[in-house]
Structure 1
Amino acid sequence: MRPPRRTWLIREDGGIVPTLAIGNAKTWLEMADRVIIEVNGWHTTELEGIHDIWSGDRETGGRIPALGWAGERIGDAVLRVAPEKVAAVVRTDEGDLGQSFRAVPDAALIAGHIVEFLKHEVARGRLPATLPPLQSGVGNIANAVMTALADAPFTDLTAYTEVIQDGMLDMVRSGKMRVVSGASLYLSREQAAAANADMAFLRPHLLLRQQEVSNNPAVVRGLNCIAMNAGIEADIYGNVNSSRVMGSRVQNGIGGSGDFARSALLSIFMLPSVARGGSISSIVPMVSHVDNINQDVHVLVTERGLADLRGLSARQRARVIAENCAHPDFRPRLRDYMARAQSLGGGDTPHLLGEALSWHQRFIETGSMRL
């Protein structure tokens, strides 16, 4: 059968070819009373075919079929909307705004610790040589980790993630990664233009799905994903704050990190040991806000080192995190805090509640966590 023709990114049969993201678009189209469709001529028509939009939720009661691997297709290549809902179709030729990824001091060290850890796990038979599907959070450090993996001795990799950044496309181009599945592409301006130019090459290696599928915990668990997400701060017991500076100012959303961390085979959180030129310790006695609880954090990494927390008691986790991940300028105070908290009994996770957040309070009052 002859495939339906399309005018830019709307097919003759009414199918809408999304551009670089799906996210919740399918749900919005179903729930909206009126819809305005933007047809963007900047994007290449070679985009048709990278999307996999599952529409079986009505037939299955929302039960997503199990995926055999990250590149398996379970849906259609287009979005659909009832024609009577369409209020207007507008035309633009404007490219995506593009993201700006900057070099983060010591990001390469963080990435190096993760690569060495994964090599160690493979050598001991706990991970296959090709690695399970990788999930990577958004940001400069996550992008640096992907860059480091491009030079690591792993081949035939796959990714099952929410947001696809520059580093993963570079791995596809180098032949390191077979397929990348996500809900959106979050690219620098230069990478977006490059992807637009060589989409015919990238298309067999890319899958964009709606978030109900890309972030579905059952799918993540079934694929045994390795989740790698960034944090703002972590405490000595492994709780991670991913979203709020000093407990209140929103730095970013939690995104899909919770979806992946809870269900992953291996959940890694990464962050620099200090911030604001060393005035803030990212390893603290107690986080000022909790996004990911310690039970969902298997590995914690800073440029100072890596803490494998699996199988450790809370007190053991505290020692390993302080010694391996904290900056040397703050490490003695963490040791002192733990010793005094434990000397008072303190149960499973000893704390001095009058001091637990004093580091944050000192920063608010003086501009530094340092004494």
Structure 2
Amino acid sequence: MTDRIRHPHFRSKLMPADQAAAQIMPGMTVGMSGFTGAGYPKEVPAALASRMEQAHARGSDFKLRLLTGASTAPELDGELAKAGGIDFRLPYQSDPELRARINQGKIEYMDIHLGQVAQYAWFGFLGKIDMAVIEVSAVLDDGRLIPSTSVGNNKTWLDLADKVIVEVNAEQPDGLDGMHDIYYGTALPPHRKPIPLVKPGDRIGEPYLRLDPSKIMGVVETRAPDRLGRFAPTDETSRRIAGHLVEFFRHEIRQGRLGEHLLPLQSGVGNIANAVLLGLRDGGFEGLTAFTEVIQDGMLDLIRTNTILAASATALSLSPEGIQQFVGNLEHYRRRIVLRPQEISNHAELIRRLGCIAINGMVEADIYGNINSTHVAGTSIINGIGGSGDFARSGFLSCFVTPSTAKDGAISCITPMVSHTDHTEHDVSIIVTEQGLADLRGLSPKQRARLIIDNCAHPSYRPLLQDYFLRACHQSGGKHTPHVLSEALAWHQRYLTRGRMVV
């Protein structure tokens, strides 16, 4: 791997993963790379988990405070959680082992907007960062680092950590060189200046990460792909949701509120988001742009066909087939994709300036437009808020999508009151299910309730929601946001006790 590690000081620090992991001590705060299953370290976490298990077998405690960009993979989050080695974790996560231990109360978890993590670290809110473990694709002659398939919070961890372990992954494509844009112009208040980005494809930084050589405690060679799932075929429900949104965009163009090239798109992770993107292509849209967090297979396909001409993100979260397509057309994608730190990809100032159209999934919405993105029955975390709040609050349009029911109809995703609120009614423009679309702009709470029930609720739940709303209006005497508080969360309670929201 000499061609991947070109700086002599880095080569002098080469060591096996277990030797590198031996430098991570109990109680440390460790920042690791990784964003939505891309660009996470592949070898050191497993070696670290083995050390933790050995320590626990001796009766010693060995836990870390773990900070990342977003979710990682079983080789990182899963292994460390299984070993009982995580005391505290932020921000977004999606690993089943980690999630189970969070909901069992064995791991403290802080859910936080992804755009806030770096500044929280710089403000000192997260304490001292002892160690960073960062995957890169190569080290240049002058010691600068070619980032991997994600940037995430890597710049912040490298800058703030006392010590650094670098994993150089030869499996990552050589062609990543030049695709990144690392901006070093941010500053702490009150000395901040406007970030000079006015179009999604603008380059305002440099292609490489900087690292003080004195911090390097070890360099580990790896050769392993990102472990990401395959892109699921679009089902009928997703196609119907996509169809409603595409027709809505056409309506907005006819009304003069959107141009034919729309505005920069932000698309959350998941099959529905991918279906919406493919619906835009099939609907004849072209000349689009994206300012988002993650490029998945659906967006990659739009870039391949020139439906999207420029896309800014912080990670490439691609299926094995998507990776093959990416590697096979690298020069095409290099001209159109820019990968940035998530403090830029999720920056509220830039989202507001560019006027992003945000499309994100949800767990449930209530009849007044409040959104639960993160919890089951108000108590059990699923994954986290991710970047949806960054875009919902600051975007031009804030769209939330979901099937109208879940668990084979046992759950209505439109409820009298959400069991947990991530996005208030004030930050939600559009709600879409396969049943239809509710445009909530310019409406009062009672007007929103009628529209959401009529357009988005499943027919089997619609009469019950209408009955609840009418009785709430009557009992409240016309209050601004009518509720029957004794019943507002009764649907969730029935699901917990009987297995269905309505029996």
Contact 1:163 1:186 (C-alpha < 8 Å) held by counterparts: yes
Aligned partners of 2:230, 2:495: CA distance in 1, in Å? 29
CA offset at residue 252 of structure 1? 1.4
When residues 65 and 44 of structure 1 are mapped into structure 2, their CA distance, relative to the original with a 3 A threshold, is: same
CA offset at residue 135 of structure 1? 0.4
Query: Residue 115 of structure 1 aligns to a residue in which SS?
Result: helix
Matched, 1:251 2:382: yes
CA offset at residue 6 of structure 1? 6.9
CA offset at residue 101 of structure 1? 3.2
1:151-170 mapped onto 2 (5 Å cutoff): 151-170=282-301
2:238 alignment partner in structure 1: 107
Query: Residue 267 of structure 1 aligns to a residue in which SS?
Result: strand
Aligned partners of 2:255, 2:444: CA distance in 1, in Å? 23
Aligned partners of 1:35, 1:335: CA distance in 2, in Å? 58
Provide Cα deviations, 1:231-286, integer angstroms capped at 9, x if missing partner.
Answer: 01000000000011111121211000000000011111000000000110000000
1:198 alignment partner in structure 2: 329
Contact 1:54 1:210 (C-alpha < 8 Å) held by counterparts: yes
Matched, 1:348 2:490: no
CA offset at residue 11 of structure 1? 0.8
Aligned partners of 2:442, 2:292: CA distance in 1, in Å? 26
Give 5+ residue unaligned stretches, structure 2. Answer: 7-136
1:150 alignment partner in structure 2: 281
When residues 368 and 151 of structure 1 are mapped into structure 2, their CA distance, relative to the original with a 3 A threshold, is: same
Q: TM-score normalised to the size of structure 2? A: 0.71
Matched, 1:240 2:371: yes
Matched, 1:42 2:171: yes
Aligned partners of 1:93, 1:321: CA distance in 2, in Å? 50
1:63 alignment partner in structure 2: 193
Aligned partners of 1:256, 1:33: CA distance in 2, in Å? 28
Aligned partners of 1:322, 1:252: CA distance in 2, in Å? 27
Aligned residues: CA RMSD: 1.6
Matched, 1:185 2:316: yes
CA offset at residue 123 of structure 1? 1.3
Aligned partners of 1:64, 1:192: CA distance in 2, in Å? 35
CA offset at residue 102 of structure 1? 2.5
CA offset at residue 148 of structure 1? 1.1
Amino acid at match of 1:38: E
Aligned partners of 1:102, 1:363: CA distance in 2, in Å? 28
Identity %: 50
Aligned partners of 1:346, 1:353: CA distance in 2, in Å? 15
Total equivalences in the alignment? 368
CA offset at residue 93 of structure 1? 1.2
Q: Hey, which bits of structure 1, 4+ residues long, moved more than 2 A?
A: 4-8, 58-64, 99-105
Aligned partners of 2:291, 2:170: CA distance in 1, in Å? 29
Aligned partners of 2:194, 2:387: CA distance in 1, in Å? 18
Provide Cα deviations, 1:212-249, integer angstroms capped at 9, x if missing partner.
Answer: 11111110000011011110100000000001111112
Contact 2:430 2:437 (C-alpha < 8 Å) held by counterparts: yes
Aligned partners of 2:327, 2:216: CA distance in 1, in Å? 27
Aligned partners of 2:210, 2:478: CA distance in 1, in Å? 58
Matched, 1:85 2:246: no
Query: Residue 146 of structure 2 aligns to a residue in which SS?
Result: coil
More deviation in 99-108 or 142-151? 99-108
When residues 141 and 126 of structure 1 are mapped into structure 2, their CA distance, relative to the original with a 3 A threshold, is: same
Aligned partners of 1:87, 1:133: CA distance in 2, in Å? 41
2:126 alignment partner in structure 1: none
Q: TM-score normalised to the size of structure 1? A: 0.96
1:10 alignment partner in structure 2: 139
CA offset at residue 180 of structure 1? 0.8
CA offset at residue 194 of structure 1? 2.4
Give the counterpart of 1:21 among 107, 125, 150: 150
CA offset at residue 5 of structure 1? 9.6
Aligned partners of 2:194, 2:226: CA distance in 1, in Å? 31
